[in-house]
Structure 1
Amino acid sequence: MTESYSNASVSSTSSLNSSFPDTEDDQTIASILAEEGDSQVAGRLGKRLSHLDSIPLTPRVNGEIPDVNDATLDHERLSERLAIYGLEELKIEGDGNCQFRALADQIFRSPDYHKHARKQIVKQLKHHRKLYEGYVPMKYRSYVKKMKKSGEWGDHVTLQAAADRFGAKICVLTSFRDTCYIEIFPKDRSPTREIWLSFWSEVHYNSLYEIGAVPTDVPTRVGRKKYWFF
């Protein structure tokens, strides 16, 4: 990997948030947050799941929300998988921005950069329409306009756009019975970084770390929740 990122403290995150508006590009932010070592962390995470058969992502919009009973079983299944592979979640706020918050945590080491992450992904969708419109079962311009809105749930189309925009291999440990592990690759270049997420029951994304490596200085908030979360 040619780029690396590490944890930022609350004080540094706060100062960065106040100093850099959403219009800053990801390379500028990354250059401030970058420190040596995270590529090794990503490599260790990859080795934990290297024996699994990954399933290539087929971009799609969100599926049907499961009922509470099915979601509970899915949550238990995901928790078991996390324990087996020695992984732990940074709990992301459930305000409709969870995918973008989790991506921002992995890329910029702060979920608070979710607005910037969303803006970059929407820019990718807008300027590379031919890559994604075949996966969207609605008018594409309406889809892109919808994805601009804060609180609009990300889907597998936005994950592919994120992989393409940030040059990242996105690794997703899921709660699905028949799909444990998904890998998303950039379409037009080799990945230069890895992003690790968990995905629970068509409902929620969290950011993944090794057990014991979850940042303790990232404030968590209980926001407005569209659905139930554990």
Structure 2
Amino acid sequence: MTVGCPSCTREFDDREAMRIHHARTHGESLVEPELSTCDHCGEEFEVSPGTEGKYCSRSCTGAAKRNRETMTCENCDEEFEVKPSDADGRRFCGNDCRSESMRELDDRDCEMCGQTFRPSRDSRRYCCRACRFEAETSKPRPDDPDMLVWLLYVYEGHNKTETYRRQRAVLGNEDRMYRSEVVERLEDMGVAGRFASETVNNALAADPSALEEAPDGDDTWRQYQEGSS
């Protein structure tokens, strides 16, 4: 297919050759047209100057506008239109309404520890990362506080701050310990220097009875080691 010069009758094998000819012969460079893909039919087309370049024709523009779903914003109650592909899960007309709605969310109780908190997003179920991680773990968690902090600190290798936060998530509002209490209990057990999980597992591999003495004789650590619940 040949390409004709817009200023004379000459024809060329490709657009680039025609553009070079036009610049040399007619003293004017031709700007390469901007190409876009039609949001409605998916065909590639040349964008006309001064247009948005979303649709290739008036028919596609009209069809796209007709193919919209009308929704009502949950924040301002105003109606707005969206493409069907964007309708699923859409609740607000824009970012301003979304942000305003988030600020007005009611306080809720953490599903893990029961602490009341103000969520920053409407999908929040837990008050902190520690509670979320505890809710998702499959490892056994003993009711005894000493055994719990021992497992968290020794077997999982959490530092003192992480151990404090995780025990708080497990024990909840009424029974959770203060940070100073957690540190004191770990020191009383003689593990306050922090054992890494790898160190403990190596000791058990060499001598299974090496850590047989657990707080209060609780054998949850053995269940943990075996992966049972």
TM-score (norm. length: structure 1): 0.19
Higher percent of residues as strand: 1
Higher gyration radius (CA):
2
